[in-house]
Amino acid sequence: MRKAFYALLMAAAVTVSAQEKPTQKREPGHKDSNKMSQMYDLMATPNMFRTASGAPGPAYYQQQADYKMDIELDDKNTKLFGKETITYHNNSPESLEYLWVQLDQNINTKDSKSKLIESQKMDPAYKADAFSRRYMEDAFDGGFKIDYVQDTNGKPMKYTINQTMMRIDLPTPLKKGEKISFSIKWWYNINNYRVIGGRSGYEHFDKDNNNLYVIAQFYPRMAVYNDVEGWQNMQFWGAGEFALTFGNYEVNITVPADHIIDGTGDLTNRAEVFTSEQLKRYEQATKSFDKPVVIVTQDEAEKAENGFSTKKKTWKFNAKNVRDFGFSSSRKFIYDGMAVQLGGKTVMAHSLYPKEANPMWGETSTRVVAHTLKTYSKYTFDYPYPKAISVSAEDQGMEYPMICWNYGRPDEKGYVSDRIKYGNMSVIIHEVGHNFFPMIVNSDERQWTWMDEGLNTFLQYLTEKEWDANYPSNRGPAANIVPYMSGDQKFLEPIMTNSEAIHQFGSNAYGKPATGLNMLREVVMGHELFDHAFKTYANRWKFKHPTPEDFFRTMEDASAVDLDWFWRGWFYTTDYVDMGIMDVKQYYVTETQPENMKDHKVKRGRFNEDDGPFVYMVADGPDTEKVQKKALNTKDVKLLNAYLSEKFTSEERLELKTPKYFYEVTFDKPGDMLMPILVELSFEDGTSESHIFPVQIWRKNNQTASRVFATEKPVKKITLDPKLLTADIDTSNNTWPKEELKDKFDTFEKKK
C-alpha cells in the first residue's frame, strides 16, 4: 500500500519512456551562463584592506585632511576671498611624492573643457537673454584665481593645474605616518546659479536687489587617496560629484553685518553675532521638541533686507570629522529651529528661508528635517552631528555636511499646489538624508553615483511613507520604474556605470537602485533580514570609504541570503523583469488508466508501471473524455479511500488536507531578470490565497518553471505579481484566463 501512496502524485502528462532515436550530432560544450551563478568574475578580490565579508579589513586605512580657513564674502561685487592651511596626514602604507587637490570651481573658467563635452544642436527659438549669453556675451569669468601655494615657512611650492585638479609636488616624499601643512590663497567670482547654473552660487531677488548665497566647493579640497585606486583624481565634468577625505575644520566667515548665516559645524561665537533676543529664542529652540521656534523673525529679516550694511561680522565654525564644508548667507533670512532627541542626545533641526518661502517653509521645513533625522537614524545609526539645516534656494537640491539647499516656494499669492508641497518635502528629506549617505558613509560619488543617490532615495521612500502612508512617492515603488525599464535599450546603462556616461541620470542612479532595494526588502529578503543587513552596512562603513563590493558582500554576509543573482542582473546589466503565465492545466483524479499510457512503459525515477495499481492524474483535454470531470471525493477513488482508511484513524483523517481541484501552472520569463514568483489564486467564492516561490525556482532553467496547486475550492483566476512588486514591464501575460482589459499597470497609474 505504501507504493500506492507514493504514486498519488504521478501525472498523466509525465514523459513516456523514450523510444529509440536516431543518432544525433552532439551539441558543442558551453560555459556557464546561468543567471544564478556567483559573482567571482565581477567583484574585486577580497584582501587585507576589504574582506570577503564586506567589512573593513585589518589593514584598512584612510587619510585625514584638516583645514583652517578665513573666508570673506564680498556681497557688493559677488566675490569670495579665502585662504586656508591644510594639514594632510598620510596614513597609507606608501610614501607620497605629490598631493592632488580638487579645484571644482574651475568648471566655471572661461576655457573650461566641461562646456565642450556635450553635443550641441541649433535650438529653433531663443529668448533674447539666452541668445545673447550663448552667441554674443563673453563667458562667465569663474574658477579659482590662485594667489599662492606655500609651505609653513612661506616658501612657494611647485604646483600644476590640470583643469579641476591641482598637483602639488613635494620636496621630499611624505612617508607613512607623517603629515604636512601648506597654505593656499585664492578668490573667485561667485556665479548666479539661476543664470549660469551650478551646484552653488547665489540667487538674486530683483525686487529688493538682494542675494541669497549657497556656497560650496568654494575652497581647494584634498582628493581621496585610498587602497582601491590610489589618488582619486578623475576630473569634475559636472555630473559625477565628489570623493572627499574626512578631517576637522576651523572656519571663520566674514560677511556683511546684516547677514544671517549658518554652515557646517558648531557656531562658536553665537553671542557675538546674534542679538540678545535672538539668543533667548535660540535657547528656547534647544528645548522645543514638538515645534520650531522662530529665532530670526520675518520682521527682522524684512528690515535687514532694506539696510545694506557696510559693516562686517565674522561667524566662527568648528566641525569635527566631516568630509566637507558648506554655508549659506543672506540678509533676507528668517531662521528657525527645534530640538530632536536621538540616542540620548539633542540634535538641532534648523531652516533658513526668505519671506518669499513663507508660509510653507515656516510650517513644514524644520519639522521635515526632524522627521528625517529620526527615520534615517532608525534604519542606520543615530545621527552623530550637532545639527542639520535646510536652506530655501530655488532651483537647487544639493547637500553638504549638516547643511543643504532645497527648492520649492509658494507662488506670489502664497498658493501652494500639491506638486510644490510634496516636491519641497521630498527634496528636504532627500538632501537632509544625504548627511548619512555619503557625508558619513563616504562612498565615491565621482565613480558610483548610485552608492549615495540610490541608497538615499530608498531611505527617502521609507521616510515619506512614515510621514504619511499615502504619500505620493515618485521613486521607490516597483511599478514606478517600469517606464524606464521598458525603454529603448540604446538609452539604458547598467547601474554600475560611471556618472558621466549615463543617459537618464535620475532613473538610473536614483530610481532603479532605490527600487531594487525596495524589492529586496519587500519581495526577496523581508523587512527583518533586510533591515539588519542594511544597518550592518551603514555601521561598518560610517566615517569610512566603502566600494560597491563592500555593500554587496555585507548585505549577503549579514542576512545569509544569496543575492549574487540580483546584483548581477539589476546592477550590472539592463535586464528587465517580465514574467508570465504560460500555461494552466487542470487535472482530475481517476483509477482508469489513460489511453496514452497503455502502450508505453512508464518510467520516471522511482516509478514503474509494474509497481501499480496507480491513482492517475489526468489533464483536462482529449485524455479526459472517459474521465468524470468533477471535484475529487476520496470515496469515489477506491484505491485512495482504502489507503487512507488503513493508514489513518478517523480522528487523524479529519486533520488531513482535503484538496478537490488540481492545477499545474507553467510560468515563463520573456525578460532576462530573475525574480521570485508571486502568485495569487482567486476562487469562485470570492476568496483568495497568495504563494511566493523563491528566485531559486529558476536555478536549473532560467526561462520556465512549473508549480502544482491543490485546492479545496475551484480556481476562477490566477494572477502573477498582483500587487506590482517586481517591476514587471508587461503585465498582459500575468493573468489566467488572460484578461482582455488594459493591463494592471495602466490601472495602477490611473489610481495614482
Residue-wise pLDDT tens digits, 461-491: 999 999 999 999 999 999 999 999 999 999 9
Looking at the chain, the whole-number percentage of residues with pLDDT higher than 70 is 92
* pLDDT, tens digit (0-9, with 9 covering 90-100), for 582-610: 999 999 888 877 776 665 454 444 455 56
pTM of the model: 0.91
Is residue 624's pLDDT more than 60? no
* pLDDT, tens digit (0-9, with 9 covering 90-100), for 367-376: 999 999 999 9
Closest listed residue to residue 152, CA positions, set 172, 187, 180, 186: 180
Per DSSP, the residues of 351-378 read: EEE-GGGTTHHHHHHHHHHHHHHHHHHH
- Which range has the worst mean pLDDT, 614-628, 684-698, 724-738? 614-628
Handedness of CA 178, 181, 187, 193 (dihedral sign): positive
* pLDDT, tens digit (0-9, with 9 covering 90-100), for 334-357: 999 999 999 889 999 999 999 999
Rounded CA separation 135/132 (Å): 6
* Cβ atoms of 538 and 482 closer than 8 Å: no
Band the pLDDT of 625: cuts 50, 70, 90. low
Rounded CA separation 444/484 (Å): 25
Query: In the chain, what are the domains?
Result: 64-117+128-447 (2.60.40.1730), 578-590+624-752 (2.60.40)
**H or E segment and range at residue 282:** helix 276-285
* pLDDT, tens digit (0-9, with 9 covering 90-100), for 409-462: 999 889 999 999 999 999 999 999 999 999 999 999 999 999 999 999 999 999
Per DSSP, the residues of 619-637 read: ESSGGGTTS--S---GGGS
Quote the pLDDT of residue 111: 85
Mean pLDDT of 285-310: 96
C-alpha cell at 477: 515603488
Q: For cell 553638504, what's the residue? A: 400
* pLDDT, tens digit (0-9, with 9 covering 90-100), for 391-415: 999 999 999 999 999 999 999 889 9
C-alpha cell at 707: 508549480
Helix, strand, coil proportions of the chain in percent (round to 5)?
30, 30, 45
Quote the pLDDT of residue 275: 97
Burial class for 316, CB neighbours closer than 10 Å (0-12, 13-18, 19+)? middle
In Å, how far are 533, 582, 689 from 506, measured between CA atoms? Answer: 26, 34, 37
* Cβ atoms of 516 and 571 closer than 8 Å: yes
Closest listed residue to residue 368, CA positions, set 327, 315, 317, 429: 429
Rounded CA separation 342/384 (Å): 9
Is residue 170's pLDDT more than 50? yes
Quote the pLDDT of residue 364: 97
Quote the pLDDT of residue 121: 86
The total of other beta-carbon atoms located within 10 Å of residue 667's CB is 22
* pLDDT, tens digit (0-9, with 9 covering 90-100), for 476-535: 999 999 999 999 999 999 999 998 889 999 999 999 999 999 999 999 999 999 999 999
Is residue 752's pLDDT more than 50? no
* DSSP helix/strand/coil, 533: helix
Rounded CA separation 348/369 (Å): 9
* Cβ atoms of 351 and 375 closer than 8 Å: no
Rounded CA separation 527/535 (Å): 12
